[in-house]
């Protein structure tokens, strides 16, 4: 593919100051570029003659005037034993913004092109070093927000999912070959025994795909975070709850109702579950324009969230607004939170005691009940996780859609076979399923799919 014929470069380390900054170069021109801008301290002779996978100390030189830019360590990794399978050079300099930018400018001046986001990993995929689900795992690994998220991404990167999909794909190809053998000999009806064998394979593959698809329900939280919205009428203690969960002052706490006008979203690690906690404006009737907008956003946040903490103040009598909130969240994944247990209890909704809705009593002032609330958030959202985490899981919507499409096609195929419909139809549906799985693993892809996946990456990866 032509895109891997040129040489690309980018800063691989995060923007800002750090001990070390890395400029990475990949492509056929990497070694030649390095040879023109790097003066090794000891090694004499041509850099291209160095053995692969060596690290050399020296100076980075601006070829325009021969001045020294920085003291550097340069690593050389000759393809195909490199991240991209191409010749790769990494220049380790001191980690200052000015230094790495200057080095990048010099490298680009020597004929490299600035890499697009994710282009190094895209090349690793195009050159066959990793599959598509593994490429996706690279980004998930970098973006992982908790230890469990990291573990899932690294399993996927090491090929757990790719292997599982490969096994299923092979079974499907075998089943397809059996069916198509009978198409080629039209005088023969498919034997009952063969048909039973094919159906057995199809049912088993389909069940495994459906199980895999189901893992997305909970596994996705480890990639995207569990969106938890804190809602309730003004002054019940929503902002205080956010602050105590985050263990710092994030939201403004006042006695004046209606202070939080906009949504506040903050990341939180709850026993390894990455949570995006959203503090909303209090929901109440208001004539004030800005507050009304805030309230609208709160209502949308309820709709978009995965889990709702409906907060009530148990030190005052419950009112119509509390009951309205309860109606609004009914049927959703909600936890009722009765706050201010440090004050005498004035009222307590009876309903949760009689219903299945989980509830907890807390005080953001004393911290009472807080651990219980955290445990409740985890347990109500990760019901199956302890078993699922042992096997292969999927965290990504693209993967889920492709798996669902494959399972549906297999379902149609076995239905056709059971109904004694023409074998051409059985095979056509199977081939549909195979196409979906090939798109998933990257065996067959289009530019559009690749662009969509890799554009989410950061520069330099
Ligand atoms: P919000 O409008 O729902 O965000 O409520 P705030 O968090 O701003 O709190 C409203 C008022 O209730 C403030 O004066 C808080 O100090 C007070 N408050 C919040 N939580 C508690 C609690 O657990 N006990 C007591 N006694 N007061 C609380």
pLDDT in tens, 134-147: 999 999 998 898 99
| CA proximity to 176, closest of 212, 211, 152, 205 | 205
Determine the length of the chain.
Answer: 461
pLDDT of residue 344: 85
Task: Tell me, in angstroms, the distance from the centre of ligand 1 to residue 308's CA.
Answer: 19
> How large is the average pLDDT for residues 269-273?
89
What are 339-376's pLDDT values in tens digits? 999 998 776 666 655 677 899 999 999 999 999 999 99
Whether 369 lines ligand 1, by a CB cut-off of 6 Å, is no
Question: Which pLDDT score, from 0 to 100, does residue 1 have?
Answer: 41
> Which atom number of ligand 1 is nearest to the Cα of residue 257?
2
Q: Is the CB of 256 inside a 6 Å radius of any atom of ligand 1?
A: no
Q: Distance between CA 343 and CA 316 in Å, rounded?
A: 9
Measured by CA distance, the residue closest to atom 26 of ligand 1 is 340
Mutating to test ligand 1, I would choose from 232, 235, 310 the residue with most ligand atoms within 8 A of its C-beta, which is 235
240 lines ligand 1 (CB under 6 A): yes
d(CA 231, CA 278): 9
Q: How far is CA 5 from CA 26, 28, 91, in A?
A: 10, 7, 21
Q: How far apart are CA 287 and CA 285, in angstroms?
A: 7
Atom 18 in ligand 1: which residue has the minimum CA distance? 237
Say if residues 282 and 235 touch (Cβ distance below 8 Å): yes
Q: How far is the CA of 363 from the centre of ligand 1 (A)?
A: 9
The DSSP bridge pattern shows strands 113-114 and 18-26 to be unpaired
Highest-confidence range of 296-305, 353-362, 432-441, by mean pLDDT?
Answer: 432-441
Which atom of ligand 1 lies nearest, measured to the CA of 232? 3
SS3 at position 246: helix
**343 alpha carbon to ligand 1 midpoint, in Å?**
11
Q: What is the pLDDT of residue 30?
A: 96
Give the pairing type, strands 113-114 and 8-11. Answer: parallel
**Rounded average pLDDT over 153-171:** 93
First and final C-alpha spacing in the chain: 19
Radius of gyration (Cα) for the chain, nearest Å? 29
User: Does ligand 1 lie within 6 Å of residue 375's CB atom?
Assistant: no
Mutate to test the pocket of ligand 1, among 231, 240, 246 (most ligand atoms within 8 A of CB): 240
- For residue range 182-237, list pLDDT tens digits in order: 887 766 667 777 889 999 999 999 999 999 999 999 999 999 899 999 998 889 99
Q: Is the CB of 254 under 6 A from ligand 1?
A: yes
Query: What local confidence, expressed as pLDDT, does residue 303 receive?
Result: 84
Nearest atom (ligand 1) to Cα of 236: 3
- 310 membership: H or E segment, kind and range: strand 307-313
Rounded to whole angstroms, what are the CA distances from 350 to 135, 220, 318, 326, 336? 51, 34, 11, 12, 12
- 258 pLDDT more than 70: no
Question: Does the Cβ of 280 fall within 6 Å of ligand 1?
Answer: no
237 lines ligand 1 (CB under 6 A): yes
Percent of the chain with pLDDT over 90: 61
pLDDT at 298: 73
Say how far apart CA 242 and CA 230 lie, in whole Å: 8
Mean pLDDT of the chain, nearest integer: 88
Of these ranges, 18-27, 261-270, 325-334, the one predicted with the greatest mean pLDDT is 18-27
pLDDT of residue 107: 97
Pocket of ligand 1 contains residue 414 by CB under 6 Å: no
Going from the Cα of 146 to the center of ligand 1, the distance in angstroms, rounded, reads 30
Atom of ligand 1 nearest to the CA of 340: 23
Distance 306 CA to ligand 1 centre (A): 25
Which residues 6+ apart lie within 8 Å of 24 measured at CB? 9, 10, 11, 12, 88, 89, 90, 91, 120, 460
pLDDT value for 299:
77
pLDDT of 117 strictly over 70: yes
Which ligand 1 atom sits closest to the C-alpha of 252?
A: 8
Note the pLDDT of residue 387.
85
For ligand 1, whether the C-beta of 239 sits within 6 Å is yes
Q: Decide: 243 in ligand 1 pocket, CB within 6 A.
A: no
pLDDT of residue 27: 97
Task: Answer whether 0.85 is exceeded by the pTM.
Answer: no
With a 6 Å cutoff on the Cβ, whether 236 touches ligand 1 is yes
Atom 8, ligand 1: residue with shortest CA distance? 253
């Amino acid at each position: 593919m032509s895109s891997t014929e040129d040489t690309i470069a980018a800063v691989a380390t995060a923007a800002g100051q750090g001990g070390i900054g890395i400029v990475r170069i990949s492509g056929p021109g990497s070694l030649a570029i390095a040879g023109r801008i790097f003066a090794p301290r000891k090694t004499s002779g041509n850099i291209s003659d160095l053995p692969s996978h060596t690290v050399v100390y020296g100076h980075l030189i601006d070829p325009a005037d021969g001045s020294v830019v920085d003291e550097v360590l340069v690593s050389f990794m000759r393809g195909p034993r490199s991240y991209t399978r191409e010749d790769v050079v990494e220049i380790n300099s001191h980690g200052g913004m000015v230094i790495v930018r200057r080095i990048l400018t010099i490298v680009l001046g020597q004929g490299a092109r600035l890499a697009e986001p994710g282009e190094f990993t895209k090349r690793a995929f195009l050159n066959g070093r990793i599959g598509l689900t593994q490429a996706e795992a690279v980004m998930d690994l970098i973006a992982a927000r908790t230890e469990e998220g990291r573990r899932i991404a690294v399993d996927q990167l090491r090929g757990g999912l790719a292997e599982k999909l490969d096994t299923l794909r092979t079974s499907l190809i075998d089943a397809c070959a059996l069916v198509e053998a009978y198409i080629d000999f039209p005088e023969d009806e498919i034997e009952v025994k063969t048909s039973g064998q094919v159906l057995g394979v199809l049912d088993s593959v389909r069940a495994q795909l459906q199980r895999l698809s189901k893992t997305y329900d909970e596994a996705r939280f480890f990639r995207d975070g569990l969106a938890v919205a804190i809602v309730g009428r003004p002054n019940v203690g929503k902002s205080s709850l956010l602050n105590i969960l985050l263990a710092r002052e994030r939201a403004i706490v006042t006695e004046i109702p209606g202070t939080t006008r906009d949504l506040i979203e903050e990341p939180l690690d709850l026993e390894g579950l990455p949570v995006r906690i959203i503090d909303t404006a209090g929901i109440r009737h208001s004539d004030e324009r800005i507050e009304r907008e805030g309230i609208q956003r709160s209502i949308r946040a309820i709709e978009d969230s995965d889990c709702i903490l409906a907060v009530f103040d148990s030190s005052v009598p419950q009112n119509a607004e509390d009951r309205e909130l309860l109606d609004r969240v009914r049927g959703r994944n909600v936890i009722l939170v009765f706050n201010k247990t440090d004050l005498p209890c004035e009222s307590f909704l009876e309903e949760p005691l009689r219903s299945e809705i989980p509830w907890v009593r807390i005080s953001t002032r004393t911290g009472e009940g807080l651990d219980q609330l955290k445990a409740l958030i985890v347990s109500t959202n990760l019901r199956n996780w302890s078993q699922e985490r042992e096997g292969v899981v999927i965290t990504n919507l693209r993967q889920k859609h492709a798996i669902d499409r494959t399972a549906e096609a297999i379902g149609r195929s076995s239905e056709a076979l059971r109904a004694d419909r023409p074998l051409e139809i059985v095979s056509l549906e199977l081939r549909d399923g195979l196409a979906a799985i090939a798109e998933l693993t990257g065996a067959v892809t289009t530019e559009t799919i690749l662009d969509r996946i890799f554009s989410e990456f950061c520069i330099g990866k």
